[in-house]
């Protein structure tokens, strides 16, 4: 790994050098990452980089320190300390799953289903992680009550930071957001027992990677918490338990939305989330939805009414 060269004279030179080194190291988006790191080192927005400006030695040192971490494949979001999610900037770091653009589509689906004026709807976000989905809903839909559940203490602490940072936006639309520590597969028996049969929407981005399908990207493999990634031998252990919790929490006709891997959709048969939900007997209108790239990445379903036997 080559060291930063003090002969660099302008910010553009720094940027070009950083992009070249990141590209050589296999970083997927070297230009964008170099720009964001340089802006962070200078303490300015990315759009305010005046690349013809001369380099202050202190700027070069700060940029080099950040660049070295990224060359080592530390996630960009960990270096910057934040990750964008829809209109939000969320604090992230060790111990919490970094929210992905794919999950923004899940949040958008729920927001559209609720309508921007949600009224007195109750939403539960299971496996909330950083609080991304819960906060998107609570800040974009008026008057909803959102309960966000996370099992891991480290992730819950990140979620608490984000809820505190965006509390004004939640209050501004007349919504509420409550954090709970609990197991998504048993939440109906624990922290959310009082909500059984009363919830309008349950949404989740659960761990769904099969245990033996270790991600190739070091940023995911080495930094995202394992319990936020892996879901058993077929990746669906948490989904199966989550379906039981959701069936208990949802009112008849309530909506369940689950993100899943692109190999766990409708065409995957018994290895897919739609199959799990149909086999549970608790859901109808089970529909798989593609992401922007056309890959199956999300399943929605409606809670059926319980049948009562009079025999």
Sheet with 283-290, strands from edge to edge, namely 176-181, 145-150, 122-126, 199-204, 250-259, 296-303, 283-290
| Mean pLDDT to the nearest integer, 166-172 | 97
pLDDT tens readout for residues 63-86: 999 999 999 999 999 999 999 999
Instruction: Please report, for the chain, the start and end positions of each structural domain, with discontinuous segments joined by +.
Output: 11-72, 82-303
Range name among 4-13, 106-115, 223-232, 238-247 with the lowest pLDDT average: 4-13
pLDDT, position 7: 53
pLDDT tens readout for residues 139-164: 999 999 999 999 999 999 999 999 99
- 3-state percent helix, strand, coil for the chain, nearest multiple of 5: 45, 20, 35
Question: Which tokens belong to 132?
Answer: 């991304």
SS3 213: coil
Contact 95, 155 (CB under 8 A): yes
Given pLDDT bands bounded at 50, 70 and 90, which one contains residue 34? very high
**Mean pLDDT across the chain:** 92
pLDDT, position 9: 72
Q: What is the DSSP string of 59-124?
A: HHHHHHHHHHHHHTT--HHHHHTEEEETTEEEE--TTSPPP-HHHHHHHHHHHHHH-SB-TT-EEE
Q: Does pLDDT of 8 surpass 60?
A: no
Spatial separation of the C-alpha atoms in residues 78 and 223, rounded to whole Å: 9
Of the two residues 122 and 53, the one the predictor is more confident about is 122
pLDDT, position 3: 57
Residues acting as catalytic residues = 97, 205-206
Superfamily of domain 82-303: Vaccinia Virus protein VP39 (3.40.50.150)
For residues 274, 130, 106, 30, the Cα torsion angle rounded to the nearest 10 degrees is -110
pLDDT, position 51: 73
| Mean pLDDT to the nearest integer, 282-304 | 93
| Mean pLDDT to the nearest integer, 260-277 | 92
Q: What is the pTM of this model?
A: 0.90
Spatial separation of the C-alpha atoms in residues 38 and 24, rounded to whole Å: 18
pLDDT, position 294: 87
H helix or E strand, kind and range, residue 125: strand 122-126
Q: Does pLDDT of 90 surpass 90?
A: yes
Neighbours of 293 (CB within 10 A): 8
């Amino acid at each position: 790994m080559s060291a930063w060269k003090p002969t660099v004279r302008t910010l553009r030179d720094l940027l070009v050098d950083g992009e070249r080194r990141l590209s050589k190291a296999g970083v997927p988006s070297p230009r964008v990452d170099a720009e964001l790191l340089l802006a962070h080192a200078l303490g300015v927005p990315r759009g305010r980089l005046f690349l013809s400006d001369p380099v202050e030695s202190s700027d070069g040192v700060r940029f080099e320190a950040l660049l070295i971490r990224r060359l080592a494949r530390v996630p960009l979001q960990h270096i910057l300390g934040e990750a964008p999610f829809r209109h939000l900037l969320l604090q992230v770091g060790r111990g919490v799953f970094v929210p992905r653009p794919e999950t923004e589509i899940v949040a958008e689906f729920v927001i559209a289903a609720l309508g921007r004026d949600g009224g007195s709807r109750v939403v539960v976000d299971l496996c909330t992680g950083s609080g991304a989905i819960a906060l998107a809903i609570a800040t974009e839909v008026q008057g909803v009550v959102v309960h966000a559940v996370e099992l891991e203490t480290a992730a819950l602490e990140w979620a608490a930071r984000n809820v505190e940072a965006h509390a004004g936006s939640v209050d501004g639309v007349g919504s509420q957001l409550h954090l709970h520590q609990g197991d998504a597969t048993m939440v109906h028996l624990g922290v959310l027992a009082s909500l059984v049969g009363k919830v309008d929407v349950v949404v989740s981005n659960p761990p769904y990677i099969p245990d033996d399908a270790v991600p190739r990207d070091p940023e995911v493999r080495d930094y995202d918490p394992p319990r936020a990634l892996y879901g058993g031998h077929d990746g669906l252990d948490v989904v199966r338990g989550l379906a039981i919790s959701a069936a208990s929490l949802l009112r008849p006709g309530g909506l369940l939305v689950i993100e899943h891997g692109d190999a766990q959709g409708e065409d995957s048969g018994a290895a897919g989330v739609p199959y799990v939900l149909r086999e549970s007997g608790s859901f109808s209108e089970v529909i798989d939805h593609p992401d922007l790239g056309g890959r199956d990445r999300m399943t929605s379903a409606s809670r059926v009414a319980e049948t009562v036997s009079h025999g």
